[in-house]
A = this chain, B = another copy of it.
Amino acid sequence: MSYDALREECLQANLDLPDTGLVDLTFGNVSVADPEARVFAIKPSGVDYKALKASDMVILDFEGKVIEGGLRPSSDTPTHRCLYLHFEGIRSVVHTHSRSAVAFAQSGVDLPCLGTTHCDYFHGAVPVTRDMTPDEIGGEYEWETGMVIVERFKALDPTEVPAVLVRNHGPFAWGPSGKKAVENALALEIVADMAIKTMSIRPNAPPAPQHLLNKHFFRKHGPGAYYGQK
């Protein structure tokens, strides 16, 4: 995959963020990787979405070295890199501060799977990471953020639950393409909003039954999927 193609896919995915209402101000970034070449493109830090061009995207290798690009990469770059190194099969990472997902991250409560909208995208609750230690925060903070995500997924499959809520911070989502990763981030915000509304009607609403969860997730994902066009 050429760097130009990476930059272009990365730009488009970043531009989708304000269009979907997922980001306020400049609170968000997308990266897109070429895992075989072990490189990824990422949004530059603190640049307004309205002014973003493909040539602004920064190309780094999986060791964190800038390969091409004149701007500083997003301050969250080490988190993205950490996920590419640990989660096989993902090609794009999205970070936003979308409001309802942030609310779960701030409350420290896993986002429960309450219905089929959730089941269609996430095979179970979307987990919150543990508190980071003062050492982790004082050290390589953004890398360590990635490491607490990896730790939280020890018993989870990142292709079945393609998102996480970083404690007191906000969501990261991922997927097989920039477009899919942004779609997962948007689905996460939608189901978080639905969950808040559900809990306002019935605070301890039970999660959707396991067989309903399996049915909906595997109706859309994996070899038995029959949703969408062939």
Contact = CB atoms under 8 A, between A and B. Distances in A.
Interface of A: 24-25, 27, 44-47, 71-72, 75, 97, 99-100, 102-109, 114-117, 131-132, 134, 137-138, 141, 168-170, 183, 186-187, 190, 193-202, 205, 208-209, 211-212, 215, 219, 226-230
Contacts of A211: 134, 137-138
A99 B141 contact: no
A227 B46 contact: yes
Given A102-B115, A103-B198, A227-B46, A137 B212 contact: yes
A208 B168 contact: yes
B194 A103 contact: yes
A206 to B, nearest CB: 8
A25 B198 contact: no
A44 B229 contact: yes
B168 A114 contact: yes
A185 B94 CA distance: 26
A104 B117 CA distance: 13
Contacts of A132: 212
A229 B99 contact: no
The 4 closest A-B pairs by CB, nearest first: A46-B228, A103-B197, A107-B202, A107-B201
B24 A107 contact: no
B107 A205 contact: yes
A116 to B, nearest CB: 5
Given A131-B209, A228-B45, A229-B46, A106 B114 contact: yes
A169 B24 CA distance: 25
Nearest to A75: B227
Nearest to A230: B72
Contact of A187 (B25, B103, B183): B25
